[in-house]
Chain A
Amino acid sequence: MAAVMPNPAIPPAAQRLLLSGNEAVARGVWEAGTRVAAAYPGTPATEILESLSRYPDMHAEWSVNEKVSMEVALGASMTGARAFCAMKHVGLNVASDCLMTMTITGAYGGLVIAVADDVGMSSSQNEQDSRFWGRFAHIPVLEPADSQEAYEMTKQAFVLSETYETPVLLRLTTRICHVKGLVTVGEREHHEPAGFIKNPQRWVMVPAHAKARLPALFQRDETLRAVSEVSPLNVLEAGSDRSVGFVTSGPAYMHVKEAFPNAPVLKLGFSYPWPPEKVRALAAMCDKLLVVEETEKLLETEIKAAGIACHGKDVLPSIGELSPQVLTPAVDRLLGKPVPPPLPAAAPAKLFPRPPTLCASCPHMGMYYTLSQIKNLIVTGDIGCYTLGAGHPWNALDTTICMGATMGVALGIDKGRGAVDKNKRILAVIGDSTFMHMGMQGLLDITYNHGNITVLLLDNNTTGMTGGQATPASGKDIHGKEAPKVDLFKIVEALGVPNERIKVVDPYELPVLFKTVREEIKIEGPSVIIARRPCVLIDEFKATRPYLVDDDKCTGCGNCVEVGCPAIHVTRRDKVIKPSGKEVELAFVEIDSQACTGCGLCVQPCAPDAIQHVPRRDIPIHIVKTTSSS
């Protein structure tokens, strides 16, 4: 949906805008005269490319995965064009194969990689500190502390990249990406690519060529350390209270300033290579030195290795976000002050959890309801909205690791299982976007290695979890313009799944789902069930007449509740003793007709036919509008 927004007028220069860190990076990329920008959607970085797609005079794309996005950026840089790619932290793991050699070729046109760490894990399978990549790949790391800096450092990163012919890592975190602040913006510069120059010694990374370039890589580290030492991005602020001095970077700087406005602070905007002399200067002016970094003990370890005494993770956590609330007691501990107990009113209320849910009419619900009713399964899962199938009421997923892992993990379970698991059926669940990102190779491995796996390919025509971005199978590009629509059926077939073992089903038709899944899991060899229905949050979804519950007919069986739809609510609970003597809990329900969009999934397991369409005269206005326009 966001991808098809019309191009708004580009806000003119010198204006102060309320921008998220992601929007600020996008503005910086555009102003830097960048020609090519690529990304695969991933929280918290998604909006960078979404925002860039609305700027004119450059190529923006959703790449199929992060590795491809980096390769596209590198290719553009080879022509002398300024180029950019963005990804979440785990995306850089995927792209790292390119990164580790691209650092040897170096950049020609300015080449900037934005990586966004999900510190606090709001929407990721792990927590990672992407600053390590700077060390591993020998590339400089810039760390903005707010939107204005995100915008400025993005532009500076391009200059740094071109000056030292190095890719530059712009390290963001959730509290940069998803914080809005005021940014004063400027004009777009023009950068005409100098042209691709044939130079096999530089661009053809065979051992002899790469070996010849390695000394320059290590020399670049030393050069950049000297640059960092004098960089205006590394600011030493002398404070009046010198009991503790702080070395910090990124959003942690803001927390330090908030909690300790009078303390000396070395703010590292250019955080790798970091400037040893500046750290020594700070250490000399305060009694104790505290390194405040998100998330791991990285600068602290390196500063100690340089022979400078400091504190850090001995008083601060290595997991999750920092905040003034975390810093204040940590510094008290460091100074040996008594830490006051938290105020009683500050204790949060004890309440039910509210995990994210699948939407009303989400096509994944039909599939997970089906899986929850079938016994003797091992179900491997993957990354997307459909990971929620691991939660209540379905509890239908047994594994989730990383993008595309469902296939390899399923095959491994198939090949590794012993007698105890011999009679279990193995299913691998994956979404359409994840399948194209990293799932296709796994399926190829299953077919090639005689895997006995049934794959459920949940095709909702979008990248749902990140807000509905287009994919190669949705027939649209990042701008919402028509693009070649790849045929998932044909891909699956080309990957070696026999034609007769590929079934296309409607996930709203529960009897067909049950029958198809039951049949396919019994058959030896690989099979793929493509469950096809659009995500309810994209334009292709059309709401239909909602349902309601006839109170007189509802017997409280609770079957519909097991579907897991957020529009179904329990109005009354009861208990009855069956003739058999068994006690049965009853749950009488109603449907929120404002939220219901008429998928009919709950109607199918309803034993007494108590779920009926809302009378036409009572249809909510938003439904009438949607159906009449279809």
Chain B
Amino acid sequence: MTSDITNILVCGIGGQGVMTATEILAEAAIAEGHDVKKTEVAGMAQRGGVVTSHLRFGRKVLSPQIEPGTVQVLLGFEGAEALRWSHYLRPDGLALVNTARLVPPVVELGLFEYPDDPTGKMRDAGHRVVAFDAMTIARDLGEIRLGNTVMLGAIADYLPFSPEVLMACIDKRFARKGEKVVDANRQAFAAGREAVAKQMAAAPA
């Protein structure tokens, strides 16, 4: 197996921005000179289905798909979705999970149950998990759409390159929209980093 490869799995629900976030992570890896492959199967319709985005980078990437048990960092945009894909984590892997709880219609109809504490279940299974509320962080910054950048901030210190590389890619993406938007995203990025750092300091996982 190719050992210098970094495997990052980003998961969530259609419409949450999973694919865009992974695209920005891919751009950062390219900026660092890595070979990159990124793949997803986004399910059937536009919204509401399960979305996973596989990002692999290193000297030379062959298969685009990540194998279960080989993910260094799992970036979960939703609690139950992080649990759904947690078997992809390596024993020493790290899960960074937005605690958002997005309940699908099949649960609302009473046909299935949503787990009470998805991240707790992940910890019980022996995974390292940092959970935070990216949507509240974004709302406190005044714009719920910043949640995506909060998520990128959360992973920034757990990549094999500096957070500034990732921040630069986010800057580039929003440059067209003006300084105000760039600044707001910088704040969201910093807030995401801080949310994870705080928990890591409190209880080193």
Q: Which residues of A contact B (CB under 8 A)?
A: 16, 18, 120, 122-123, 146, 174-175, 178-182, 251, 254-255, 257-259, 261, 321, 323-325, 343, 345-349, 351-359, 385, 388, 392-393, 464-465, 467, 537, 561, 564-566, 568-570, 573, 585, 587, 594, 621
Contacts and interface: CB of A to CB of B under 8 A. Distances in A.
Contacts of B203: none
B137 interface: no
B42 A122 contact: yes
Contacts of B46: 356, 359, 385, 464-465, 467, 537
B91 A345 contact: yes
Contact of A564 (B86, B105, B144): B105
B43 A356 contact: yes
B38 interface: yes
A345 B106 contact: no
Interface string B25-64: 0110010000111111111111111100000000001111
Contacts of A621: 143
B202 interface: no
B126 A18 contact: no
A18 B109 contact: no
Contacts of A573: 110
Interface stretch (B111-119, B157-165, B184-192): B111-119
Nearest to B143: A621
User: How extensive is the interface on chain B, given as a class?
Assistant: 35 or more
Nearest to B50: A354
A251 B62 CA distance: 9
A347 B46 CA distance: 28
Contacts of B26: 18, 180
B109 A351 contact: no
5 contacts: A178-B41, A346-B69, A356-B45, A357-B49, A357-B104
A180 B68 contact: no
A354 B87 contact: no
B13 interface: yes
Contacts of B45: 356-359, 385, 388, 465
A178 B39 contact: yes
B4 interface: no
A349 B35 contact: no
Given A18-B27, A181-B37, A357-B105, 20 more contacts: A18-B30, A18-B38, A178-B39, A178-B40, A179-B39, A181-B35, A181-B61, A258-B1, A321-B65, A345-B126, A351-B83, A352-B113, A354-B50, A354-B106, A357-B48, A357-B104, A388-B44, A393-B105, A467-B46, A566-B105
Contact of A351 (B13, B84, B91): B84
Contacts of A348: 68, 84-85, 87
B179 interface: no
B39 A323 contact: no
A174 B41 contact: yes
B108 A569 contact: yes
A174 to B, nearest CB: 7
Contacts of A587: 108, 110
A175 B66 CA distance: 12
A325 B14 contact: no
A307 B79 CA distance: 55
Contacts of A122: 41-44
